[in-house]
Chain A
């Protein structure tokens, strides 16, 4: 038993400094999809995607919905000059429309989809992330997170659990996992909401005190993903409850989940102030 103590100390610190310093994925990581310049193409491009994430407008503008994208890479392989995997972890946004990606404008970035304050999404995100990191540290040991599986494929659970492993250790940012919904500030829901999980989801959310934030974890939770058309799955958490933060990915990597949690903290703070 005592031998574990030197063993625990022998390997030094492995924990990431994220979000204080950015963390870039290893070479070859397949991050959120981007539409490349010039961003126009024929309507047939829509056929490439098994989940209907790609749409082409009448004027040929290509839009890619990251909330539907399962990162299968079919479009990247067929049209490498139009679509690419980005090499970044972060994918969280606070409004569903912001997940729709068009070329040259970042996520949600056509001028029509700009956030209300008019600040471009990427700059806003960088600034918000830095500020939220500060806030989260100031709230040390006071943000309680509850998880509910509403029909995931099981990967999301691994990645959420990894948040408390020594590499990511989000307890250092003040996030604690709680089993009691009545103690929870943030609910992380994974899965497209199967029929038997609809009621447990509603009940869990109801039990949480205000202010509270709901995170849709993974592409299935954002849109239903591949399981959607059968009718057995509601097609995303927001078909049942209003969602505060969407973090697509199949599944989203732990760093993407930290990013989502920080965004959710921002929503909690806004609610307290507002």
Chain B
């Protein structure tokens, strides 16, 4: 699969010298800023993907577009850009060699595409259906007198989203575990079709409710980039403000859950109180505890009733409370004893599997969409990417705790640049326009990449690459030396959402 790739030089302009990665000699298609769209033949997709990976590219997603002929698009992050390999069918049925055979990170994306569209890659590893899970299908693979298969979920003890884990265990160690998502597939990507971009944002907010601001943000950016709309700077700042509050709430939720699983009841209560105080702040800023209804393609809607001076004061007292609880939490041996070493994943493995978010950063990978491809206000903020090197549950908690501090720093910068006056917050969208583009943000769970195609002012097709789906695929590897009782620590340290994965 390696070696130089020479796709048929069809339609587009030849690539400018030096503008393309290494040996990949593919024609450059017209591309918006921070995107490189390359035309390749379907047969060369896997080979081109390998070349990109050799340059350090990270696989993001695979999708089927209608442009107007069906075209596969394999999406990678490389340097400060998204590289999109576009393979058009040109009247023939789409056939392509499996990308996952050479890039393991593509495993679920490729399977999902095959099961939903019928476009079967050649050489796709066989396996049970991914997107139509059956709770009762045991699907054991290991033999042995003492090994049994424990189906865990989709209904679990406590308040959890529906997802299932097939755990094969001898009672203590976990030689094999398989994550089964898609119990809550709601068909939201199809739901977008035919909607106006203004209405579509409500769907985007619901892909993963707890990261609704992030998903709305990626969607809005994609629409704006597709239609060439400039967003007022004040609106960009409000977006950052809502997104960072969402990040703090999600990180606190994970830390509270870790306190609970380590039987630290006061710590659990304290982090729940901190989280609730952020949720209440969000109501005052948006009318919704989840910041819904604020973001809209073109900008933001007029913000809530809270004066900025009171917001700054609230953030100050929040930080004071947080520092105190963080100090106690970090000093609690019964907590760190359970988290240190749990679910250890190496940097190399995570890089190979395309990990994103706090999971990747906890193993030393500097992966953060806000920094890799800064967009909007983030390009003016001087963001620091927080990483840790332990690669275990403790490192992921550490990353989250420090990221809350970084979010607070960003929030202060942003509030200082905002004013209470009625600055313009919304740019109009051109009516009846067409175009397609990607949008991206760093959600609390990791990078969200959304592709939007607008035709005559209506949404034609939307594809969402969620961090939860990409990182759940890695959960299967998260029990190298761990036992079944570590399950809760490791699961919470991933901090994902089933709704986001299933869409």
How far is the CB of B351 from the nearest CB of chain A, in Å?
28
- On chain A, the residues within 8 Å of B191 by CB distance are 226-227, 229-230
Which of B208, B253, B276 lies at the interface centre, i.e. has the most chain A CB atoms within 10 A of its CB?
B276
Are the CB atoms of A149 and B186 closer together than 8 Å?
no
Of B142-150, B329-337, B397-405, B477-485, the stretch lying at the interface with chain A is B329-337
Are the CB atoms of A7 and B325 closer together than 8 Å?
yes
Contact A160:B500 (CB < 8 A) given known A71-B293, A155-B209? no
* Interface of B (DSSP majority class): loop
Which of B162, B199, B304 lies at the interface centre, i.e. has the most chain A CB atoms within 10 A of its CB?
B162
How far is the CB of B153 from the nearest CB of chain A, in Å?
9
How far is the CB of A196 from the nearest CB of chain B, in Å?
5
A167 CA to B280 CA, complexed, in Å:
11
Asked whether B48 is an interface residue with its Cβ less than 8 Å from the other chain, the reply is no
State which of B158, B212, B264 has its C-beta within 8 Å of the C-beta of A155: B212
Chain B, residues 156-188, CB within 8 Å of chain A (1/0): the string is 111111100000000000000000001111111
Contact A165:B273 (CB < 8 A) given known A29-B287, A229-B191? yes
- On chain B, the residues within 8 Å of A225 by CB distance are 206
Asked whether B414 is an interface residue with its Cβ less than 8 Å from the other chain, the reply is no
Chain B, residues 273-292, CB within 8 Å of chain A (1/0): the string is 10110011001101111101
A165 CA to B259 CA, complexed, in Å:
13
Q: Which of A191-218 contact B (CB under 8 A)?
A: 191-192, 194, 196-197, 199-200, 204
Contact A154:B161 (CB < 8 A) given known A11-B273, A197-B154, A197-B183? yes
- On chain B, the residues within 8 Å of A160 by CB distance are 159
State which of A1, A158, A232 has its C-beta within 8 Å of the C-beta of B334: A1
Asked whether B132 is an interface residue with its Cβ less than 8 Å from the other chain, the reply is yes
Are the CB atoms of B132 and A196 closer together than 8 Å?
yes
Q: Which of A63-82 contact B (CB under 8 A)?
A: 70-74, 77
State which of A26, A147, A251 has its C-beta within 8 Å of the C-beta of B209: A251
State which of B158, B202, B279 has its C-beta within 8 Å of the C-beta of A70: B202
Chain B, residues 125-142, CB within 8 Å of chain A (1/0): the string is 000000011110000000
Are the CB atoms of B269 and A26 closer together than 8 Å?
no
Asked whether A253 is an interface residue with its Cβ less than 8 Å from the other chain, the reply is yes
State which of B208, B267, B324 has its C-beta within 8 Å of the C-beta of A154: B208
A233 CA to B135 CA, complexed, in Å:
17
Are the CB atoms of A230 and B186 closer together than 8 Å?
yes
Are the CB atoms of A7 and B328 closer together than 8 Å?
yes
How far is the CB of A83 from the nearest CB of chain B, in Å?
14
State which of B186, B288, B328 has its C-beta within 8 Å of the C-beta of A192: B186
- On chain B, the residues within 8 Å of A153 by CB distance are 206-209, 212, 499
Which of A4, A74, A160 lies at the interface centre, i.e. has the most chain B CB atoms within 10 A of its CB?
A4
Q: Which of B443-498 contact A (CB under 8 A)?
A: 497-498
Q: Which of A1-34 contact B (CB under 8 A)?
A: 1, 3-5, 7-8, 11, 14, 25-30
Asked whether A174 is an interface residue with its Cβ less than 8 Å from the other chain, the reply is no
Are the CB atoms of B292 and A8 closer together than 8 Å?
no
Are the CB atoms of A28 and B202 closer together than 8 Å?
no
- On chain B, the residues within 8 Å of A197 by CB distance are 154, 162, 183-184
Asked whether B155 is an interface residue with its Cβ less than 8 Å from the other chain, the reply is yes
Chain A, residues 147-161, CB within 8 Å of chain B (1/0): the string is 111111111111111
Nearest-neighbor residue (CB-CB) of A167 within chain B: B276
- On chain A, the residues within 8 Å of B203 by CB distance are 226
Asked whether B190 is an interface residue with its Cβ less than 8 Å from the other chain, the reply is yes
How far is the CB of A85 from the nearest CB of chain B, in Å?
7
- On chain A, the residues within 8 Å of B210 by CB distance are 154-155, 158
Asked whether A38 is an interface residue with its Cβ less than 8 Å from the other chain, the reply is no
- On chain B, the residues within 8 Å of A115 by CB distance are none
A194 CA to B135 CA, complexed, in Å:
13
Nearest-neighbor residue (CB-CB) of B269 within chain A: A166
How far is the CB of B223 from the nearest CB of chain A, in Å?
16
How far is the CB of A87 from the nearest CB of chain B, in Å?
10
State which of B160, B269, B290 has its C-beta within 8 Å of the C-beta of A149: B160
- On chain A, the residues within 8 Å of B290 by CB distance are 155, 251
Which of B182, B188, B212 lies at the interface centre, i.e. has the most chain A CB atoms within 10 A of its CB?
B188
Asked whether B272 is an interface residue with its Cβ less than 8 Å from the other chain, the reply is yes
State which of B158, B199, B207 has its C-beta within 8 Å of the C-beta of A177: B158
Are the CB atoms of A154 and B209 closer together than 8 Å?
yes
Are the CB atoms of A28 and B305 closer together than 8 Å?
yes
A115 CA to B499 CA, complexed, in Å:
37
Are the CB atoms of A8 and B270 closer together than 8 Å?
yes
A175 CA to B125 CA, complexed, in Å:
48
A5 CA to B160 CA, complexed, in Å:
29
- On chain B, the residues within 8 Å of A167 by CB distance are 272-273, 276
- On chain A, the residues within 8 Å of B324 by CB distance are 7
Are the CB atoms of B287 and A166 closer together than 8 Å?
no
A253 CA to B292 CA, complexed, in Å:
13
Nearest-neighbor residue (CB-CB) of B136 within chain A: A199
State which of B132, B156, B269 has its C-beta within 8 Å of the C-beta of A165: B269
Asked whether A50 is an interface residue with its Cβ less than 8 Å from the other chain, the reply is yes
Asked whether B195 is an interface residue with its Cβ less than 8 Å from the other chain, the reply is yes
- On chain B, the residues within 8 Å of A101 by CB distance are none
Nearest-neighbor residue (CB-CB) of A156 within chain B: B209
Asked whether A103 is an interface residue with its Cβ less than 8 Å from the other chain, the reply is no
State which of A29, A71, A194, A253 has its C-beta within 8 Å of the C-beta of B184: A194
Are the CB atoms of A196 and B154 closer together than 8 Å?
yes
A-B contact pairs, 14 of them (CB 8 A): A4-B264, A28-B283, A72-B292, A73-B293, A151-B184, A151-B186, A155-B209, A166-B272, A179-B156, A196-B183, A196-B184, A200-B162, A226-B203, A230-B190
A154-B499, A227-B187 are known contacts; what are 16 more A-B pairs with Cβ within 8 Å?
A3-B328, A4-B267, A14-B273, A25-B283, A71-B293, A154-B498, A155-B209, A155-B212, A156-B209, A158-B253, A161-B159, A166-B272, A229-B191, A231-B187, A251-B289, A251-B290
Chain A: residues with CB nearer than 8 A to chain B? 1, 3-5, 7-8, 11, 14, 25-30, 50, 70-74, 77, 85, 147-162, 165-167, 177, 179-180, 191-192, 194, 196-197, 199-200, 204, 225-227, 229-233, 250-251, 253
